[in-house]
Structure 1
Amino acid sequence: MPTERDDAPRAPLAQALSPPCGDCRYAATLLAGGACDPAAVCVRALSGQRIDRFFRRHPQEAASWLDDGFWERRAIAARYAPLPAVTALTADADEVVRRVVASRLPPAAAIALASDPDREVRITVAHRLDAEQLLSMAADPDYMVRVVVAQRLSHGKLPRLADDPEREVRKTIARRLPAFALARLLDDRDAEVRRIVAERALPEHAARLLDDNDWLVRLAAVGRAPLDALASRLEDPEPEVRQAARERLQQSHSTPENSE
């Protein structure tokens, strides 16, 4: 079968790329002036990289592509278009476009997407909202949204999520609550939450976890509980807990914990 030689004559670029370039609105301007390149910088390409390069070079053109039929072109254009033009895309049919919109809107406007059907849009919104607006998303049906809320809520509002049904949300709360407020999580149903509590709780609260049925919780509690509560752990069924209790007591004899 005949093959084309490497040095065979090439068709003119405009002919080879027609009609994509031939009927492009920029054919007589940007293309003619070398400001775009169908192989690398092209708004009509089906390549996100080429489209992004185009708008990076020509951001003034982005607003005119916000109603394009190709979702990726709209999404990329939304990164570069003026903010007033982008607000019209809050109801765009594609979730990727709405995610871009949510990332650009100011908090006061982003709250309009707080009930978006796409969880990634709502997660983006939760990252954007002002602290006083966050509580409105504390009951979101997706736990990952609530995790973001728990990461950003002020300490005074965190207890409102302490009874969340999802372990990851409560773990976030346990990491952020002040030590004196961790008592409400001492009896959490999940051992991973109790371990975090045992590592951070006030000593008298950590002592209550020395008898926990999870040995990793007991091990964490040994490091926080008062010394006079550790004797029972010298007979713990788990070797690592016994060793930790013994080492902490021995250290206290050589270097009193309360010495200046």
Structure 2
Amino acid sequence: MNAAPLSWNDIPAVDWRGGPLDCAACEHRSLREGDACEPGRVCMQDAYARRIDRFFARHAQLAVQHLRHGYFEVRAIAARYVDLFHLTALLGDPDETVRLQLALRLPQRQLLQLRDDPHREVRIRVAQRLAVDQLASMLQDEDYQVRATVARRIASGLLPLLAADPDVTVRQEVARRIDMPALWRLAQDAEPEVRRIVAERLPPSLLGVFLNDADLLVRWEAAGRLPGHLVRAFLADADAEIRERALQRQQVLAGVAATSPEEFPHG
């Protein structure tokens, strides 16, 4: 076997078991005659995933033959190229890399079977693709990233079910999307990261709830959106940056009032 040119890749060409490549023993050795495979660059027996992918990209029709291959990378890459009808045979594959490929490709009906996959990355991909009306079944997933993904996509009417989630990342996602009056309840959240988002979205007339908030950034967000009747209270804040922010807001409101449409006659 001729060594691959160094310009192709400097990663040694070894088979997936760690031994030397043996083209003579390969079931696809006939492809060498037409340069349809190239050891060290395009080879499904190689340990390097990119070389395996190049092989199946050229020979997608051969992918179905390797769905039971002993090397998980071969199975996972073959799963990218086979038709959808053959993917269900891999639902019980022992390697999460293979099941991850299924989560990216399976139709919705089969995708449901991966909702309880033991690996979090697989379930995250499922939550990213699952139909919105099926996401409620993943609300109680044990992994916070799965629940956060659900919170980004689930129907807004179901977001209150995650408003008390134990993880702050999930509650942040909820705060970005939840409607009033449920948003109001998050103004009392224990974490400032959540309250800052609430301060960005709460109706201005309710921003007084943050007047004495312990977090400077929460008060700063609120001060930039105040209605006129709350500005004076924030002008007395203990922090100079908050007072400056409230003063700027007061000036903006005064400018709006000074250029009110009532001052200009209608044409």
Q: TM-score, normalised by structure 1?
A: 0.89
Aligned partners of 1:238, 1:55: CA distance in 2, in Å? 63
Give how far 1:180 is off.
Answer: 5.2
* Alpha-carbon displacement from aligned partner over 1:179-214 (angstroms, at most 9, x marks no partner): 554112111111110111011111122221122121
Q: How much is the aligned-residue C-alpha RMSD, in angstroms?
A: 1.9
Whichever residue aligns with residue 159 of structure 2, its letter is L
Structure 1 stretches lacking a partner, 5+ long: 1-11
- Residues 189 and 195 of structure 2 are in contact (CA less than 8 Å); yes or no, is this contact kept in structure 1? yes
Aligned partners of 1:153, 1:39: CA distance in 2, in Å? 46
* Alpha-carbon displacement from aligned partner over 1:127-167 (angstroms, at most 9, x marks no partner): 11100100100110000000100010111111211111110
2:6 is matched with which residue?
A: none
2:237 is matched with which residue?
A: 236
Note if 1:140 corresponds to 2:141.
yes
- Residues 51 and 76 of structure 1 are in contact (CA less than 8 Å); yes or no, is this contact kept in structure 2? yes
Q: How does 1:134-173 map to 2 (within 5 A)?
A: 134-173=135-174
Aligned partners of 1:194, 1:131: CA distance in 2, in Å? 27
1:26 is matched with which residue?
A: 28
* Alpha-carbon displacement from aligned partner over 1:49-68 (angstroms, at most 9, x marks no partner): 11100000000000100100
Distance 1:99 1:257, change over 3 A: farther
Distance 1:150 1:127, change over 3 A: same
2:104 is matched with which residue?
A: 103
Counting matched residue pairs gives 246
Give how far 1:232 is off.
Answer: 1.6
Whichever residue aligns with residue 28 of structure 2, its letter is Y
Give how far 1:178 is off.
Answer: 3.3
1:7 is matched with which residue?
A: none
Aligned partners of 2:74, 2:90: CA distance in 1, in Å? 13
What SS does the corresponding residue of 2:23 show, helix, strand or coil? coil
Whichever residue aligns with residue 27 of structure 1, its letter is R
Aligned partners of 2:109, 2:211: CA distance in 1, in Å? 47
1:74 is matched with which residue?
A: 75
Aligned partners of 2:260, 2:202: CA distance in 1, in Å? 22
Share of identical aligned residues, percent?
Answer: 46
Give how far 1:215 is off.
Answer: 1.7
- Residues 141 and 147 of structure 2 are in contact (CA less than 8 Å); yes or no, is this contact kept in structure 1? yes
Aligned partners of 1:21, 1:233: CA distance in 2, in Å? 77
Segments ≥4 residues shifted beyond 4 Å = none
